[in-house]
């Protein structure tokens, strides 16, 4: 069984599994505020001992543009193409799970699926980027969808295939191997974690549409959705009153899975305290201050600059990705000249992949990616 390339040495405190479009990502919110709140919460309190999993209908080709358009964190695992592809990582270094691909190939022949679906002129093929080795995808009107699904299923069964047909969002129809799907992919991952004695202590699944339904059927998982028509009586299922990422944060508190107040919710960071000092928490707060400072949302005051310094050791070093090293207090002093340079502009900052290594009794090496969103372009630093 393939090693999961998991960065955690033991079981995750929480595995959060989320759909992207209209679940974690709210396409009707151009300010992305709830997503940015989630990012700050996750990197402050969860990244070090939990796993973030994206489970999306998007293919690798259409997933990448979304990362450039929206302030998404890098997940530990990405389930894509409606559960037909499992990748470890979610950035430029994704590694496919070959065992999952081999499993899905049983009684699956893509050429036969294409041949049979060509007999239905009502099916409009989705873009080439959405057609994958174990997924054939179409658009179809809701009125005709279910009749086509019944007939097509029978025809493919007669051809010796074992398939699953999923209809989502009132328009998208996907033909997959029988063993595929978001729920099946997650069940496969949980089985592997159990085999490696790394089964997460808690799992929270988040979704909104037809291709997410299987996620909520798995035993011993918590679930959250925010569409009213998808409400459930399951006590482990929350029908969120908040939209998208805000609903996920709501679920963390509802099920008592961990902190559910984002550092972004604090206007005065002196009130944003944790029970134990956390370098991750302090780094997130620092860059939230940096964002507000540059947007002139805090008063230009030398006192603010000087109050930052005690948080970071006087001998601390900031290492830029270029390799340039600067004393951390010198970097803080340089903020004075940046006050208000983004005033009146869309400017957001977040950190990603924040990792900690203790290198002394009171010293930590902190690594992270810092991102800035200016208008519609995400810029890494």
**Per-domain residue ranges for the chain?**
15-96+181-262, 108-177, 266-380
pLDDT of residue 231: 54
* Under 8 Å between Cβ of 65 and 25: no
pLDDT of residue 306: 86
Lowest-pLDDT range of 206-215, 239-248, 265-274, 284-293: 265-274
Averaged over 6-19, what is the pLDDT? 91
Number of H helices, E strands in the chain: 10, 17
Fold observed for domain 108-177: Hypothetical Protein Ta0175; Chain: A, domain 2 (3.90.1070)
The pair phi, psi for residue 379, each rounded to 5°, is: -120, 120
Checking DSSP bridges between strand 136-139 and strand 124-125, what pairing results, if any?
antiparallel
pLDDT of residue 227: 66
Q: How far apart, in whole angstroms, are the C-alpha atoms of residue 166 and residue 138?
A: 11
Instruction: State the architecture of 15-96+181-262 in CATH terms.
Output: 3-Layer(aba) Sandwich (3.40)
pLDDT of residue 363: 81
Give yes or no for residue 96 having a pLDDT over 80.
yes
Higher pLDDT, 14 or 375: 14
Cα distances (angstroms) measured from residue 250 to each of 20, 29, 71, 260: 17, 18, 20, 7
Instruction: State the architecture of 266-380 in CATH terms.
Output: Roll (3.10)
pTM greater than 0.85 (yes/no): yes
Tokens of 275: 């029970």
Cα 342 from chain centre: 28
pLDDT band at 3 (very low <50, low <70, confident <90, very high): very low
Question: Within 13 Å of residue 271, how many CA atoms lie on the same side as its CB?
Answer: 7
Exposure string of 214-229, with b = 16+ CB inside 10 Å and e = fewer, is: bbbebeebbbbbbeee
* Under 8 Å between Cβ of 369 and 352: yes
Q: What angle do CA 343, 344, 346 make, to 5 degrees?
A: 100
Q: What angle do CA 365, 368, 373 make, to 5 degrees?
A: 150
Averaged over 53-69, what is the pLDDT? 93
* Under 8 Å between Cβ of 206 and 242: no
- Sign of the C-alpha dihedral computed for residues 251, 44, 300 and 371 taken in this order: negative
**Mean pLDDT, rounded, of the chain:** 90
- Over the stretch 113-140, which tens digit does the pLDDT of each residue have? 999 999 999 999 999 999 999 999 999 9
- Over the stretch 299-351, which tens digit does the pLDDT of each residue have? 998 888 888 888 888 888 888 878 899 999 999 999 999 999 999 998 999 99
Strands of the sheet with 347-360, listed across from one edge: 347-360, 363-374, 377-380
Closest residue by Cα to residue 20 from 246, 253, 257, 244: 244
């Amino acid at each position: 069984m393939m090693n999961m390339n998991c960065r955690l040495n033991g079981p995750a405190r929480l595995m959060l599994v989320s759909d992207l479009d209209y679940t974690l990502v709210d396409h009707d919110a151009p300010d992305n505020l709830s997503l940015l709140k989630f990012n700050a919460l996750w990197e402050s309190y969860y990244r070090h001992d939990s796993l973030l999993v994206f489970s999306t209908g998007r293919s690798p080709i259409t997933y990448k543009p979304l990362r450039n358009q929206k302030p998404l964190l890098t997940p530990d695992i990405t389930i894509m193409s409606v559960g037909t592809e499992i990748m470890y990582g979610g950035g430029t270094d994704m590694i496919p799970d070959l065992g999952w691909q081999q499993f899905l190939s049983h009684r699956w022949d893509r050429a036969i699926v294409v041949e049979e679906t060509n007999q239905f002129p009502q099916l409009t093929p989705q873009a080439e980027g959405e057609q994958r080795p174990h997924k054939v995808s179409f658009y179809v009107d809701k009125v005709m969808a279910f009749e086509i699904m019944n007939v097509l299923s029978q025809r493919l069964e007669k051809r010796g295939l074992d398939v699953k047909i999923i209809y989502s969002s009132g328009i998208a129809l996907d033909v997959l191997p029988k063993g595929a799907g978001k729920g099946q992919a997650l069940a496969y991952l949980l089985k592997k974690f159990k085999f490696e004695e790394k089964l997460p202590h808690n799992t929270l699944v988040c979704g909104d549409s037809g291709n997410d339904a299987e996620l909520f059927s798995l035993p011993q998982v918590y679930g959250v959705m925010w569409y009213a028509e998808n409400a459930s009586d399951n006590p482990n299922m929350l029908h969120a009153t908040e939209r998208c990422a805000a609903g996920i944060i709501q679920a963390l508190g509802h099920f008592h899975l961990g902190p559910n107040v984002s550092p972004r919710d604090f206007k005065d960071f002196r009130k944003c305290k944790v029970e134990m000092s956390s370098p991750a928490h302090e780094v997130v707060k620092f860059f939230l201050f940096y964002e507000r400072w540059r947007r002139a949302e805090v008063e230009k005051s030398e006192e603010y600059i000087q109050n930052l310094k005690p948080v970071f050791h006087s001998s601390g070093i900031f290492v830029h990705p270029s390799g340039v090293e600067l004393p951390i207090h010198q970097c803080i002093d340089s903020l004075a000249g940046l006050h208000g340079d983004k005033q009146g502009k869309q400017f957001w900052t977040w950190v990603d992949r924040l990792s900690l290594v203790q290198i002394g009794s009171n010293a930590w090496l902190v690594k992270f990616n810092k991102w800035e969103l200016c208008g519609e372009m995400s810029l890494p630093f």
